Amino acid sequence: MRKRLGTFAKIAVSVGLLVFLLSRLNRAELISQVANAQPLWLVIALALYLVAILLGVLKWRLLVRVQRLDASYGDLAAYTFAGLFLGNVLPSNIGGDVVRAYALARAANETEAAITSVVVDRLMGLVAFFCAALVNMGLLVFLVTGGSQLKAIEIATVVAATIFAIGCALLFSRRLARRLAFVFDFSFLAHFKPRAHRLYQAIQTFRSSYLTLVANVLVSAGVIVVATFVWYSVALALGLDIPLIYFFLFNPLIAFVLMLPISFNGLGPKEATAVFFFGLVGVPSESAFALSLIFHAVVVLTSLPGGVLWWRERARVAPILPRADEAKIE
């Protein structure tokens, strides 16, 4: 019941924001722009986003190899697409990372190693993301005048990046692990001590794999670059004359705002932040809204192959993947 309420709340946020934005836009102009989008550039955007997904699989594969898990690139791609489908298409509270970790754990029979591969993969992706967001935020302050709102986002970015850096340091800290080991002396936690120890050992595997971690961060940066060109391709499809530099500036910042899990797949907040940021450089609200909406459609369309893979893998990951008849909100 609680999960359904959470899903309803996210959908309500998305719908509410979309309705609010649409009430302030010229809907005829918006519909005209979307209807006249050039198909060739939309196909290019779809292809580029697929490249970004496959790069994401590659960077996960680098970490899986360090863990010596028995999983091919094709297997990891299947788990990734299934997770994307579940997270982007179905109204579920199950995230793509959960699907990836669970499917790999079941296939490789190594729960702790599978979980840590996904966690570290996400962390390295966030390293690249925060680096890009911090650099872009600094450039944006000099290039664009955004008033108090822009300063608030700058402060929030710096604070979030600092907290993230401290969290990563603590996660890999052996000294902290030794000092916290006493908590498992309590009887109600003693049962979890063996699994916690295995998780700790799995995480420590990456302490000496510096080259792999650096490679993962670099590929993550490549994912950000490719996703930026997806935005740019959608803009060209809409006939918008926006300099490419602004897409490199705004893409990580829009993604940063969407880190809060308050909506259904970012729909609504993504459109609002796109209207705000692109509005700073003179892009009409209707154009920015159309740009974000079509980008979202690209994300959803590239997730659809995961539906087939989800159906194929449903027996293997049945405990966490809802059946087709359970995926609908009642």
Q: Which among 171, 196, 174 is positioned nearest to 185, based on CA atoms? A: 196
| pLDDT class of 98 with cuts at 50, 70, 90 | confident
Q: Is residue 15 part of a domain?
A: no
pLDDT at residue 324 tops 70: no
In a domain, 317, yes or no: no
Question: Is 287 within the bounds of a domain?
Answer: yes
Q: Return d(Cα 103, Cα 83) in angstroms, integer.
A: 9
Distance separating alpha carbons of residues 11 and 101, to the nearest angstrom: 26
3-state secondary structure (DSSP) of residue 146: coil
- Give the least confident one: 122-126, 277-281, 299-303, 315-319: 315-319
The verdict on residue 54 lying in a domain is yes
Kindly state whether residue 203 falls inside one of the protein's structural domains: yes
pLDDT averaged over every residue in the chain = 83
pLDDT in tens, 263-300: 877 888 899 999 998 998 889 999 999 999 999 999 99
- pLDDT of residue 94 exceeding 60, the answer is no
CB 56 within 8 A of CB 80: yes
Confidence label for 147 from pLDDT (cuts 50, 70 and 90): low
Tokens in use for 229?
């060109």
User: pTM for the complete prediction?
Assistant: 0.83
For 154-203, write each residue's pLDDT tens digit: 777 788 888 888 887 777 777 777 777 777 777 777 777 776 766 777 77
Q: In this predicted structure, what is the pLDDT of residue 90? A: 65
Asked if 222 and 55 count as a contact pair (C-beta separation under 8 A), the reply is yes
Do the beta carbons of residue 263 and residue 8 sit within 8 Å? no
Distance CA 139, CA 77 (A): 35
In a domain, 114, yes or no: yes
**Within-domain flag for 113:** yes
Structural domains counted in the chain: 1
13 in any annotated domain = no
DSSP E strand boundaries for the chain = none
pLDDT at 46: 97
Domain of 139 in residue numbering reads as 38-312
- Tens digit of each residue's pLDDT (9 = 90 or more) over 201-247: 777 777 778 899 999 999 999 999 999 999 999 999 999 999 998 99
Mean pLDDT over residues 111-133, rounded? Answer: 88
